[in-house]
Structure 1
Amino acid sequence: MAGYPMGAQPHMGGFGQPQMGQQPQMGQQPQMGQQGGMGGMSMSFGMSIPGFGGMFGQQQPQQQLHQNAFTVNAWQAFGMNSPDDFQVLYERYKSRTLNGIQGEELQRILNEDRQIKNYYKTQRGPINWNLELCKILIAMLDRNKDGIMQLPELNELLQCLIHWWQTFLRYDTDRSGFIEAHELGNIIKNSFGYALSVKALEVILKRYSRAMDDRRCLVAFDDFVAMSVRLRAYTEAFRARDRSHHQNQEVGSYEFSYDDFLQCVMCL
């Protein structure tokens, strides 16, 4: 598809994800509220940056580097015996009142289940999943905007996390739980297929990296996940609005109303 860069990362943010066992369909449109009205702000992507694959609006090569996340069985990756074990896990943690999982339940699943903890283990021990990140992950697949995740969505989410973890470990070879900040730029470009400007990349690195005592700038896995969710979701939301206002063509610009802008960014 001409226009925005496409990567191997699975579709995020409720933008036409497949149900459990199905493959994601290309070209499905996000449904994120109404489109912008009068006035508002103009947001544009694109300026050609050497080393970052050109600009939005140009043809980008399809990335064929990594296995599609939706081909991964989460229960197998975590060392469970069968899909029934995954269902038992869901039933154990779901809210009886809401008949589903919210951020608090997801946090308990990721931090308490032994097999999941062992899968995301680093030299410093298991990943500590904070509540805010878990709420972002819930929102990522919250198609009907009720804040509750059912079993199929939980399966999709864990598939996405497995994909991100495998991508992260290609750079975190010693399982320290961190990658160098400059490696995040390589992932964004080469694994996810985004062609970002230097300024945009600098903003991302400052937001999601940590300055260490030895003066290195590192990115932890939980920050990497938060960045991955937002980058994909915001890009897909922008693309849908761009297409809807330009006869299904992607020109790399769209004028947001204030309300539409808030709907786009405040959901995550």
Structure 2
Amino acid sequence: MAYYQQHYQHYQQPSQHYGGYGQVLQQNAFQCNAWQAMGFNNQDELQVLFNQAVQTNPQNMQRQAIQSENLVGIMNNSAQIRGYFRITWSRELCKVMLAMLDRSKDGFMQWDEFMELQQCLVAWYNMFRSQDVDGNQRADANELLAMIRNQFRFQLTPDSATTLLKRYSYVDEMGRCVLAFDDFVTLCVKLRALTDAFRRRDQQQHGQETGASTFGYDDFIQCTMCL
């Protein structure tokens, strides 16, 4: 818990410009045991999977960390993880999830970052299941977006909300606007990562949060294209 508190000490404070996403994570995602939700007997069993992936090549061993292809293997090959989330994790989504937590920007994920990801995924899946009433792994897109605005309290305008719906939802055979869980995760990851990046630059440039920030072209490319 100390690791999470260290990285969310600032962002758990509500903001009139960016909402209270860190606070929501602190109160929900980091108060549960991801390993227990997934059906592991203890956290050590999950760490065994991580350590096995670390041993797959010298670069991993040198950093005691995993890469995106290792994350794909863990998420898809673990019976407990597959049984809990009931999806096939794509390489692209695993790259995006790793980039969200890659604070060292070296393309690797350490154990603490891996566990932070699992905590977030369990929290997001609980939210998703609350809307997936028929258990078909699809949930109402408008209601999920309302949760992001009202529970996470991201400061989204109607235009930005519409953009998100168009990008991540689709119309099913019943004419409903829905999201699959992996699309919901991608939305949450990118919204969180880009908001955090923007918020840090706003704070650094102005000494306080103003809701505005100036990006150079190269900095903008680095922030957006890494996800």
> How far does residue 234 in structure 1 lie from its aligned partner after superposition?
1.0
Aligned pair in 2 of structure 1 residues 59, 110: CA closer, same or farther (>3 Å)?
closer
- Residue deviations 1:192-242 (CA, integer Å, cap 9, x gap): 111211110000000000122332221111010111011111111111111
2:99 aligned residue: 139
Separation in 2, partners of 1:150, 1:223:
24
1:26 aligned residue: 9
* Matching residue's letter, 1:19: Y
Greater Cα radius of gyration, structure 1 or 2: 1
Contact 1:241–1:254 at 8 Å: present in 2 too? yes
> How far does residue 249 in structure 1 lie from its aligned partner after superposition?
2.2
* Matching residue's letter, 1:256: F
Q: What percent identity do the matched residue pairs reach?
A: 45
Query: Gapped runs of 5+ residues in structure 2?
Result: none
**Corresponding residue to 2:208 among 245, 249, 254:** 249
1:31 aligned residue: none
State TM-score, norm by structure 2: 0.86
Are 1:78 and 2:38 counterparts? yes
> How far does residue 56 in structure 1 lie from its aligned partner after superposition?
5.2
Contact 1:178–1:220 at 8 Å: present in 2 too? yes
Are 1:92 and 2:76 counterparts? no
Are 1:229 and 2:212 counterparts? no
Separation in 2, partners of 1:63, 1:104:
31
Separation in 2, partners of 1:128, 1:201:
27
> How far does residue 135 in structure 1 lie from its aligned partner after superposition?
0.4
Q: Which has the higher contact order (CA 8 A, sep 6+)?
A: 1
2:114 aligned residue: 154
* Matching residue's letter, 1:115: Q
Contact 1:19–1:153 at 8 Å: present in 2 too? no
2:77 aligned residue: 112
Separation in 2, partners of 1:156, 1:18:
12
Between Structure 1 and Structure 2, how many residues are aligned? 219
Contact 2:35–2:41 at 8 Å: present in 1 too? yes
- Residue deviations 1:46-75 (CA, integer Å, cap 9, x gap): xxxxxxxxx954998x97699421222222
Separation in 1, partners of 2:202, 2:38:
39
Aligned pair in 2 of structure 1 residues 65, 74: CA closer, same or farther (>3 Å)?
closer
> How far does residue 131 in structure 1 lie from its aligned partner after superposition?
0.5
Higher helix share: 2
Contact 1:63–1:191 at 8 Å: present in 2 too? no
